[in-house]
Structure 1
């Protein structure tokens, strides 16, 4: 199970004065939550194209190119020229197709976080409840003291939830009943706060003219990530820091001043930790053993741009890091090539709010209410399909292997949470055809048939020219030729 990270809803940063990033119209969805505001001037701003900084790979931040994305041409997109294309021939030939298999709706708030474990799905929203679902039905629920649940991760019998109030709450499944969850603690623990508060050196400046203990987050927790091998939990916050927690005793080991603006996503992989921020950068951190204990040191900055980084995901199988941005683009870096920039996926017109990776697939959820399914094959990415159905921005994603998946027919169960207050469940086949190419080939065949029937009325050179043009248009789409 591999999950992507995401951020909150309304444009609200830990320290708005320190931010120099222009806010786009859909920035309201990226950094905070509906109904919560801190400054009266934070209203809608006109859309603005992103620009490339000198530290960014040149030439691939043209947001307008998203309009020519293969996802825009999907037969499932009702606005495309293929909207009247029939799926009957594919269904009759038993070709696997990606489809919606269920929808979970509970009118209690926008869905901000998801976590899947086995046959259970945990959902967090801006209500006070964390709900547990099984077989598309509500299985259990437990309530937190904080209203907004922004992140959920699962480690064995423990469930960690990150909240708007800057606290991490720990829950444990009851040994008596699987549908009962009990509160097991809060990070940081009260005794650690008391012990730390005695020493004046443990206080740091958290806001202007305000000090606080370094072991505590002082703004909303936006993301959580687990490193099970090392027994560590990472938390990112709008207070611009990343904190490192030891799972065995829930102790805060380290606080890293990671960015100049809100940390929107953190993910562990390849023996490193990656953080993405509203300051437009993606940074790489590595754990180093020192005399006073392990510390995370900055080893590389992968990206530095004007648009906010809103989500990260690691595909450990393909050894690829993906980063989504508020400009609607997904950049990726390849581990086998020393984290060199591999390219960009252009599939969305609006901000990419969440990412998830599994097998050879990567999923991107966006403020444009769609989910793009990408398949990586021999280093190139192809858009298999666009999943539509949400009526609000797609805020979070979780992926689990389908119970009927086989080696020759791998398929995944994808959960998507949205600000439309629903969770949708999709079945996605890794071997599903590229629907854009299927539609192009069928259109090509129909045109050839029409031309063939009227061939006598066309000069020979005209038919040859038309055929060549159609063959040229049917080339596979990938990140390298978009």
Structure 2
């Protein structure tokens, strides 16, 4: 067992096993609740002074071990185990008499008190019913019950002392604490054969060894110790816990029935005027907690004399120190119970007791809140420390990643250099091919010159106005992208200037007219935004289904949805006409100064904007029309079945048309750009590509592959092409 620390408890028991008496105890050791029943060897501290005589048993004497919980033998008081030190021993040299003393140079068992520990004293029998502490020779041992609950803190720095030190020799122990050390007086002396053969002292934590004999644990832990009976090496097998039952059955006098011998403050005897009760050692705590002969203090004042518990009620009736019930509010009155009752009739606090009680309750509540806030502050400080540690880790990780990023950037620069070299080679080859096919030599291929990142969802619509680009997305927002001018190129870089929120669904269509931006979405509404400050002007509940496309011309706004087109007045923001008769979703609209073109399932309708009469119906093969583009000479549409159909505006009645193939998915968007004296058609598709077509030769000149998702919309501005895709990004081509 480990040596006792501050506040540690020790125990000792005496009992008989197979008609022999053994003692179990320890002047040091671990807490009894932590003591192993199997008797695991340890190193108990022992500072006992000498020993006398031998008293043991033969090698053939049996030893009985019974598993008994020590906690059953240690009564609990106020949730704690009180400390009990027990010693009992006799030898042939004990002097007949009635006084028991202990702690001599050859005393029969002692220990040195550690911090919060227990000191054991040897005893010598002198005269009947008298016990003393501190003698000169060993003898019959007595039992001391030390209440060390307050002593532990007082003696936390007291060093270990020898067993022959008397109680009065403790320099740090006050007189009041010495009074708490009460000797246990037995009704009859314990059995004499209680000494260990090895140390001739009372058994301290008795254990059974491999040779079958019982010794003190501390004796067995000594180096090279051997059994004096059969000369076998001493090795612990199990603790001898059975002796604890005998201690519990020993009869003792109540400590309030004992008094010190006159002239000898260290000797104790039975007090005929004290408590007459004799009890078992195991029942001592239960009795002494309620003993009528216990000395108690008056609860009214510390200045009152100490009285017996049985006389406390009588004292309280005449005590003149009873405080007013409102003393906590600083009422100074004190007197007897009757005087206090009379005082309450005139006490100024009595009339305010309800108010004072309420204030006291509020103060208590505030104090609890303060304590709670203190706990929260402590918790937050802990969390802040954790965050600080985490931040330090992130800083280290950031430095590591920056190093990796520098390496990746250097690698990327090398790849860009290689890419430019390959691009120059391809440009030369394209020029050669163009010259051979009759194309202008000054035509250069389009390259991706930038990427806009900011949307949290796929980009489904684009439009331009002045120097600004507008994009609509599945994140229900519209972003406004504007140029960040530089010295060498005013349009070299675009940044997000504003984010417009209001839609509760995907923004599927965008267009501008005069000073307004119009947006249509999956929430079935058209929202109108001012271009000067981007404030929302109005909201039109346009359709019963999502608004798929928008177009504007001649002061009118056209919106397409399921089987219907509605016409809105842009000055009043009111609906002026409804164009019905469509056979499916209207996903594409183009409005010129004279005509409105609408694409639906396998058809394109043309309305005259003067009369709103249908002037042309063009049949389309390849499924629904997803995109439309009109030039001065051509009508172009992109279809669900991957094709691009081209008609001459001067001959729409003819079925003759040109079909461009090459895409592997639905053609979502079309844009025509004049470049180098030629017309180029850009087509965006579900297959993640943008194809560049020469409308003079009706051939594909270039395929732009940079997006990681379907390309859903296109727009042009200042000779540049802008594309939006399902990969949530926008790219700039030039």
TM bracket, shorter-chain basis: 0.5 to 0.7
Q: Deviations over 1:169-196 (max 9, x none)?
A: 000034xxxxx410001225xxxxxxxx
Equivalent residue in structure 2 for 1:232, among 556, 580, 585: 556
User: Does the residue aligned with 1:221 lie in a helix, a strand or coil?
Assistant: coil
The answer to whether the 8 A contact 2:477-2:503 is kept is no
- Give, in whole Å, the separation in 2 of the partners of 1:354 and 1:251: 29
User: Does the residue aligned with 1:145 lie in a helix, a strand or coil?
Assistant: coil
The answer to whether the 8 A contact 1:312-1:323 is kept is yes
**Structure in which a larger fraction of residues adopt helix:** 2
Q: In the superposition, relative to structure 1, how do residues 355 and 84 fare at CA in structure 2: closer, same or farther (>3 Å)?
A: closer
User: Does the residue aligned with 1:261 lie in a helix, a strand or coil?
Assistant: strand
User: Does the residue aligned with 1:86 lie in a helix, a strand or coil?
Assistant: helix
Structure 1 residue runs of 5 or longer lacking an equivalent are 1-82, 175-179, 189-215, 290-295, 403-411, 428-482
Question: How is 1:69-88 mapped onto 2 (pairs within 5 angstroms)?
Answer: 86-87=425-426
- Tell me which of the two structures has the higher relative contact order, counting C-alpha pairs closer than 8 angstroms and 6 or more residues apart: 1
Partner of 1:186: 539
- Give, in whole Å, the separation in 2 of the partners of 1:241 and 1:88: 47
Partner of 2:648: 334
Partner of 1:251: 574
Of the structure 1 ranges 242-251 and 296-305, higher mean CA displacement relative to structure 2 is found in: 296-305
Flag as ranges the 4+ runs of structure 1 deviating above 3 A.
Answer: 83-86, 88-95, 338-342
Equivalent residue in structure 2 for 1:325, among 636, 639, 642: 639
Of the structure 1 ranges 84-93 and 263-272, higher mean CA displacement relative to structure 2 is found in: 84-93
- Give, in whole Å, the separation in 2 of the partners of 1:251 and 1:358: 34
Q: In the superposition, relative to structure 1, how do residues 310 and 95 fare at CA in structure 2: closer, same or farther (>3 Å)?
A: closer
> 1:112 deviation in Å?
0.5
**Structure in which a larger fraction of residues adopt strand:** 1
Partner of 1:156: 514
> 1:246 deviation in Å?
1.5
User: Does the residue aligned with 1:305 lie in a helix, a strand or coil?
Assistant: strand
- Give, in whole Å, the separation in 2 of the partners of 1:88 and 1:220: 44
> 1:107 deviation in Å?
4.6
Q: In the superposition, relative to structure 1, how do residues 185 and 224 fare at CA in structure 2: closer, same or farther (>3 Å)?
A: same
Partner of 1:171: 529
> 1:371 deviation in Å?
0.7
The answer to whether the 8 A contact 1:325-1:351 is kept is yes
Partner of 1:217: 543
Partner of 1:308: 624
> 1:223 deviation in Å?
0.3
Q: Deviations over 1:255-286 (max 9, x none)?
A: 11131211111111362111111x22212222
Partner of 1:113: 461
Structure 2 residue runs of 5 or longer lacking an equivalent are 1-421, 432-440, 484-493
Equivalent residue in structure 2 for 1:143, among 476, 501, 510: 501
Which of the pair has more CA radius of gyration?
Answer: 2
Q: In the superposition, relative to structure 1, how do residues 304 and 88 fare at CA in structure 2: closer, same or farther (>3 Å)?
A: closer
The answer to whether the 8 A contact 1:333-1:339 is kept is no
Q: In the superposition, relative to structure 1, how do residues 95 and 309 fare at CA in structure 2: closer, same or farther (>3 Å)?
A: closer
- Give, in whole Å, the separation in 1 of the partners of 2:577 and 2:442: 53
Q: Work out the number of aligned pairs and report it.
A: 289
Partner of 2:328: none
The answer to whether the 8 A contact 1:315-1:358 is kept is no
> 1:85 deviation in Å?
9.9
TM-score, structure 2 as length reference: 0.38
Equivalent residue in structure 2 for 1:132, among 446, 466, 480: 480
Q: In the superposition, relative to structure 1, how do residues 418 and 339 fare at CA in structure 2: closer, same or farther (>3 Å)?
A: farther
> 1:288 deviation in Å?
4.6
